[in-house]
Structure 1
Amino acid sequence: MPGPFPGMDPYLEHSALWPGVHQGFITYATEALNAILPAHYVASINERLYVVQPDRDIYPDVMVLEHPSAQRQTQREGATATAVAIDPPWVLTIEPIEMREVFIEILPVADESRVITVIEVLSPSNKTAGSEGRQLYLTKQREVLESQTHLIEIDLLRTGEHTVAAPREGLLKKGKWDYLVCLHRGGQGMRYEVWAIQLQQQLPCISVPLADGDPDIALDLQAVFNRCYDACGYARRLDYRREPQISLESEAAEWADALLRERGLRD
């Protein structure tokens, strides 16, 4: 069954849940694309890997902590006045983390080395100022924007730096949003097609461009999200009696509270 919210579920922006949401959304978007793409195209999942030091909250902590041994402490207590004993420190060994970010490429079956369209679902690391993930993402974004490849960016996270290619200042003149989808067609300079989504709205059905001569196909993001929500069992995992980890603004919080009470998920 679909979740209680008409579109994106803000509870799934939780840092512990997001990796699974991201993977699931990419997986089911790929499935949906391959069901509707013309036979001479294929949607394929690709990935980029990089190693980071876990020094920010967006990464899980991975470290080995060594406590001072009792023997060394005893030695200090028995030390003579002429010998200066070193107080034993805690020793932290920080293990680097291999980060894996998946994305979708639409390829022609006749030449899978040619990328027609890239579809990205943004992660917290892509939106965190100064992070390795953001630097790598922006580098790739710039490379795609300067090529003939189409780029679709799906941002289902309300927090973090503005990251999609369409300039934030221009979007603010159009109105407010909680989530964004940005399409840049290859070779069209600074022209962007943007779907601005508020929490109270369904996720849109968007255009997915193909190579010249082939019409766009339509990808229903709400259907993809619903498939992800159901297949990953989020209805059983989320406690809607609590507030979401990423807090809502007052008006949205009141709306969400009324909605969840109406659905019987809050007392």
Structure 2
Amino acid sequence: MPSPFPGMDPYLEHPSVFPGLHNRLIALLGEALQAALPPPYFAEIGERVWVEVSGRFIEPDASILQSPSQERGGVAALPTRSVPVVVTVPHDERREPFLEIRTTGDSGEQLITAVEILSPSNKTAGERGRDLYLRKQQEVLASRVHLVEIDLLHGGLHTTAVDAKRLHQAVGRCDYHVSVHRSDRFEDFFIYPIQLRDSLPEVAFPLLAGDPDVPIDLQAIFDRAYDVGPYRRRIRYRDASPVPPLAPELHAWAEALLPEEP
């Protein structure tokens, strides 16, 4: 059974759900690119790894250091006010996959196109994942590498490399979008605006000059990710609301599409 929505499913944008979808989309997009790329191009998955303060709820944990004499029931050598309290702040290791289109030649491998599917951490102020993403984005823009950014999150900060004001002036309001920056067209961004009511577009992935772009149907990728994922069992559509919330008119439209729960 497919998603009840014609394109992106807003119920899958929940912070606890989207990471799994993100990983599946990366893997399936890489698979589709691998099948479509002409030799000697190939698609490879990379990964960013960083440490972030844990968002999981953990009972407050504090302890007071004790001297050996205190542990034995003796008199402490230091006054109590000189003994620090240890407060534990748990951290999580975060991993975020991305795609690269590369080619081989006499001089070795060459990175041609960087492909990113934005995650919630990329669009959240203060997140280490956002800082790392923006740093890489600027490095790619300053290089001879193409950049494809796929934003399937209607909430959060604007993060793709295209200027937000110019984007809205050119395409109006859009719920999602894909931004393609070609290294040989430095001032231009090729934008695929996406509305929640629309299916996801076919996107042209650029290669080296002289080689034709590779078209990939993002809707087919999403449909496959939904089909192989846990979403039809996990998402209780009638008992939940999208996170982040939809605008009132979109919420009403979305509710009309929801299936009856068994």
TM bin, normalised by shorter chain, reads 0.7 to 0.9
* Number of residue pairs aligned between Structure 1 and Structure 2: 245
Instruction: Select 1:119's aligned residue among 115, 118, 126.
Output: 115
Separation of aligned partners in 1, 2:158 and 2:183: 21
Equivalent residue runs for 1:6-85 within 5 Å: 6-54=6-54, 59-61=55-57, 65=61
> 5+ unaligned residues in a row in structure 1: which ranges?
69-83
Corresponding residue of 1:227: 224
**Residues 178 and 192 in structure 2, CA contact (< 8 A), matched pair in contact too:** yes
Between the two proteins, what is the percent identity of the paired residues? 46
Specify the alignment match of 1:213 in structure 2. 210
Separation in 1, partners of 2:232, 2:98: 25
Matched, 1:256 2:260: no
Matched with 1:134 is 130
The answer as to 2:101 corresponding to 1:103 is no
Mapped pair 1:149 → 2:145: yes
Q: CA deviation at 1:253?
A: 0.7
Render the CA deviation track for 1:33-57: whole Å, top value 9, x for unaligned: 1111112111000011122223xxx
Structure 1 CA distance for aligned equivalents of residues 39 and 184 of structure 2:
25
Number of the residue aligned with 2:195: 198
- 8 Å CA contact retained: 1:120, 1:152: yes
Pair 1:237 & 2:237 matched? no
Inter-partner Cα distance in structure 1 for 2:7 and 2:252 = 17
- Displacement of 1:159: 1.0
Structural RMSD (CA)? 2.4
Is the 8 Å Cα contact of residues 3 and 226 (structure 2) preserved in structure 1?
A: yes
Q: How many angstroms apart in 2 are the aligned matches of 1:100 and 1:124?
A: 13
Runs of 4+ in 1 over 6 A off after TM superposition: none
TM-score (norm. length: structure 2)? 0.86
Structure 2 regions of 5+ residues with no counterpart? 65-78
- Code of the residue aligned with 1:170 in structure 2: it is R
2: CA distance between counterparts of 1:13 and 1:92? 33
What's the secondary structure of 2:237's corresponding residue?
Answer: coil
Q: Is contact 2:104–2:110 with CA below 8 Å preserved after alignment?
A: no
Distance, in Å, in 1 between the alignment partners of 2:167 and 2:113 is 23
Q: Compute the displacement of 1:112 (Å).
A: 5.9
Q: Distance in 2 between matches of 1:209 and 1:237?
A: 36
Post-superposition Cα deviations, 1:187-243, rounded to whole Å, max 9, x if no partner, equal 322200011111100011000011122100101110110111111121111111022
1:30–1:64 distance in 2 versus 1, CA, 3 Å = farther
Q: Is the 8 A contact 1:30 1:104 kept in 2?
A: yes
